[in-house]
Structure 1
């Protein structure tokens, strides 16, 4: 008799990598709605980032530390500083 005959291949969640339960439907790709939503949000952020990078219009630079980020994806589209630390540092240097 051949090895592996009758064994069901283990399937894993595309979001977290945990094994799917044996009762999961054949077309199931995620272990839960939480994993499915998390994966969808990550994909949305990635698509947004790629579109901003390709257009070149979304780049911003922090005047305090020089860090570069994609405006509207990593931070607000009208953000001036990259972090609260730089906001505080700039405020202290002005005072």
Structure 2
């Protein structure tokens, strides 16, 4: 089974896959996270980005959004456009999830 099929199987089983990471952009450190979960027949994709210096105010995100699609094949396009993460980099989340799929 290839990596993309493995991620699709996780999603079809109702698991949330995701990743959190940091990077430097224009001399500033940023933190981001992405999560994907199939919820009530729709794939929900959560993306956030916040500058490390502003992390004490958790409402001061540069990006904080949920995007929905019914098409699995659209997920990679959305990830590329919003956070430059490859879908196969995402792994199942245990314990605390990246986002709550019940919320919009």
Which of the two has greater helix per residue? 1
Q: Which has the larger radius of gyration?
A: 1
- Sort the TM-score into its range (normalised by shorter chain): under 0.3
TM-score of the superposition, structure 1-length normalised? 0.22
TM-score of the superposition, structure 2-length normalised? 0.21
Q: Which has the higher contact order (CA 8 A, sep 6+)?
A: 2
Which of the two has greater strand per residue? 2
